[in-house]
Amino acid sequence: MTAPKISVLIPLYNRKHYIAQCIDSALNQTFTDFEIIVRDDGSTDGSADFVDERYAAEISSGKIKLCRNETNLGEFPTDNKLLREATGKYVMILHSDDLYLPHALQNMYEFAEYLSADVVHAGNFLQSPPVIDANTQFKVMCWENRIVDKIELVPNDSAQRFNLWADADIFIDAQYNIFNRQFLLDNEIFFDDVGGNQLFCLHWLMQAKICVKTPEIFYIRRDAPDSYTNDRTHLAKRAQKFIFGSVTVSKYFDKIFRSVDYFKDNEAAQYRAKAIFYNRTDSYELYHRKIYEHGITPELHNAVDSAIKECFGEYADYVTFLFHKSNCRNFNQDYNKIVSP
């Protein structure tokens, strides 16, 4: 059986009410030589069974492959499984609450083939409310500081590429790209569970021989109300996970620094990369989620204190203090006391 030109990879978790529109948008493409791989990450709402039943014909024909994780692994380990399972020359990631425009695969494939690109990156996308119908008003979005109005080759100069990432001139999320699959495999470019899109982007950007930016709009982003982006539950546990992750992510940094010549023996660049990553992650995981909005609660203090002591030893009280102090200041909270429950 001939391998398809593109593998569309859909990580799925509790998106029963969105997944049909998502898959239908991939099936209804002007381009036809592709496969869809859906991997369910232990959904509890019947998402996988829904896909199995609704798309029985496509699954039987091999157009759609439905796989299931035995336990909930999380977004990025699931993405890695999908990347390894893909058989297409190119891979594209589609989130299970998002959609493609009808020309998505055709245009991105043609760009990649014509320019022999390892990666084609689109910074523009459409933002949508949760419910999409004939009357939906979409908003054109671009979160990059520098917006392109024509196809551009990204300079091969490593310092310039690093600055693209450092200065937020390239949008880090993986779903706005088409990747040459062999390029990812040959360079062992996969997602780190903590570094996620940020370090995945830094890795491919620094390794790609030919990288292209396009103003093409092909993606509709729709954040479900209960998506990870909007979820503010278990804030103390999130702070704890942030601390553990920030410590262990150094292993992925070491992997990038070993494989990219620009970073070898370049201590200043290595520090800058880590500082930017930690600052962005801190801003997103702690400030954006307003974890310290009400000060230091007993639950938050205990979670942070136990994580820091596990990582740095029993005498790391000063580190705990600094962590509380820096984050309380963002919300004008008193860092000198634990708030009574």
- What tens digit of pLDDT does each residue of 279-299 get? 998 888 888 889 999 999 999
**Nearest residue to 190 (alpha-carbon basis) of 252, 240, 238:** 252
Q: Are 128 and 221 in contact (CB under 8 A)?
A: yes
| Cα→Cα distances 266→112, 163, 177, 255, Å | 32, 15, 29, 14
pLDDT at position 232 is 46
pLDDT at position 215 is 95
pLDDT at position 230 is 47
pLDDT at position 194 is 84
Q: Which residues, given as ranges, of the chain have pLDDT below 70?
A: 1, 224-233, 341
Length of the chain (residues): 341
Other Cβ atoms less than 10 A from the Cβ of 111: the count is: 18
**Nearest residue to 330 (alpha-carbon basis) of 288, 297, 298, 299:** 288
Helices (H), ranges, 218-262:
235-248, 250-259
pLDDT at position 134 is 85
The predicted model scores a pTM of: 0.90
CA–CA distance, 87 with 65 (Å, rounded to integer): 11
CA–CA distance, 214 with 70 (Å, rounded to integer): 38
In eight-state DSSP terms, residue 2 is P
pLDDT at position 133 is 85
CA–CA distance, 165 with 167 (Å, rounded to integer): 6
- Largest separation between any pair of C-alpha atoms in the chain: 66
